[in-house]
């Protein structure tokens, strides 16, 4: 029998600000990061995160309410709309993997459930995608719809967090009653990764989490660098990270031996991510009109676009359509190149150059700051309209 639990829409606050499923690894390995992250401004949502939320909401609706997937086409989340490609590439493959686990549909499941630790860790909670029980095995199933980073199931801290929290959540602790095993499943279409563990291992994880959360409350909480730094929002202000950058900048290349080079290479990915996040933070501050001494925002390189595609088609009515179209209207640069073969020039009034946004640059950069080019942008927009 299908165990129905109210589906919760995934919003900004679907996990604790102290520690949640996605941050459990970082907090356990670096308790001091909790206080550092709390000082950082919230990161704006990305298009990838928003698309992931749309897909999570979609598969939750299908499982919870037994809605045919096709009926959900056109569903929106912010700027994203569910299309057939989403169903074919993500939703259907994910459901097929779920059917491999439970081919006879005998698993009792709870969908999109908020799980917490109660009085054991007040304020610590998260949202589990699927919790299930089949025979004497508990399942924690996590959907991963992103393509960039492969997520492994073995020793997956996020899965263990949901399992440990669910054991303390009255609405779903039935999943773990009288079970012999706990299986963490990562379904990342088209792949599925599975790891079977024990309740004892989940309890061991829980003890590590409690110790880390308690330590995070101390002023001198431990800060450690590692792979968990990759997604940490506090990298730009982390004392360990800033120290690593200073050492890398002040070390003379001639004095570095092979072992030191190997050490720096081991940490290169972390440093590169730190630099990227530092630039993103500076960009975010300047966009919010918070000065960053020595830096400003300048317009990115402008690319030419058509003022009105219909006007271009009218102007080129005496040309074969293959000259100005491929599968769609050629870009100004492409058409200009093609027109040279026909000894024709492209009228300037058909094209406008528009920057795609702003980018960080030192004050010495000759380009004007974006606040000084408002008239230019307005003129371009008026030309488009």
Diameter of the chain measured on Cα atoms: 82
pLDDT digits (tens, 9 = 90+) for 184-232: 999 999 999 999 999 999 999 999 999 999 999 999 999 999 889 988 9
Tens of pLDDT, residues 230-258: 889 998 889 888 887 677 666 665 666 77
pLDDT, tens digit, for every residue of 63-103?
999 899 999 999 999 989 999 999 999 999 999 999 999 99
d(CA 237, CA 152): 29
Helix axes 258-266, 268-287, angle to 10 degrees: 50
Q: Domain limits of the chain?
A: 24-216, 227-283, 295-384
Given the candidates 2.60.40, 3.90.320, 2.40.10, 1.20.950, the CATH classification of the domain at 24-216 is 3.90.320
pTM of the model: 0.69
Q: What would the two tokens of residue 310 be?
A: 């219909």
For residue 38, report the phi and psi dihedrals to the nearest 5 degrees: -65, -25
């Amino acid at each position: 029998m299908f165990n129905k639990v109210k589906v919760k829409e995934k919003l900004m606050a679907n996990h604790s600000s102290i520690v949640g499923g996605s941050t459990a690894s970082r907090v356990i390995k670096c308790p001091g990061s909790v206080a550092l992250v709390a000082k950082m401004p919230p990161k704006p949502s990305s298009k990838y995160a928003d698309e992931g939320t749309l897909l999570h909401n979609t598969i939750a609706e299908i499982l919870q309410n037994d809605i045919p997937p096709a009926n959900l086409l056109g569903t929106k989340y912010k700027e994203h709309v569910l299309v057939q490609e989403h169903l074919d590439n993500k939703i259907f493959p994910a459901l097929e993997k779920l059917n491999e686990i439970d081919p006879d549909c005998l698993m009792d499941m709870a969908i999109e459930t908020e799980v917490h630790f109660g009085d054991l860790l007040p304020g610590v909670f998260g949202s589990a995608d699927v919790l299930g029980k089949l025979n004497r095995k508990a399942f924690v199933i996590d959907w991963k719809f992103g393509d960039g980073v492969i997520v492994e199931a073995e020793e997956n801290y996020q899965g263990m967090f949901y399992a440990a929290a669910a054991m303390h959540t009255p609405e779903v602790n039935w999943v773990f009653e009288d079970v012999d095993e706990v299986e963490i499943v990562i379904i990342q279409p088209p792949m599925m990764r599975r790891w079977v563990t024990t309740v004892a291992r989940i309890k061991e994880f829980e003890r590590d989490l409690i110790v880390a959360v308690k330590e995070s409350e101390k002023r001198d909480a431990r800060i450690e660098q590692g792979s968990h730094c990759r997604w940490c929002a506090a990298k730009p202000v982390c004392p360990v990270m800033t120290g690593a950058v200073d050492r890398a900048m002040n070390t003379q290349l001639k004095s570095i031996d092979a072992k030191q080079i190997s050490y720096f290479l081991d940490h290169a990915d972390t440093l590169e991510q730190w630099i990227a996040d530092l630039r993103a933070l500076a960009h975010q501050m300047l966009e919010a009109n918070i000065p960053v001494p020595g830096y400003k925002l300048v317009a990115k390189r402008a690319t030419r676009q058509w003022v009105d595609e219909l006007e271009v088609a009218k102007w080129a009515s005496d040309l074969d359509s293959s000259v100005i179209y491929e599968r769609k209207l050629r870009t100004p640069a492409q058409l200009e190149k093609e027109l040279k073969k026909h000894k024709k020039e492209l009228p300037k009034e058909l094209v406008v150059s528009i920057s795609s946004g702003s980018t960080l640059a030192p004050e010495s950069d000759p380009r004007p700051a974006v606040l000084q080019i408002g008239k230019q942008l307005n003129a371009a927009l008026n030309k488009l309209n």
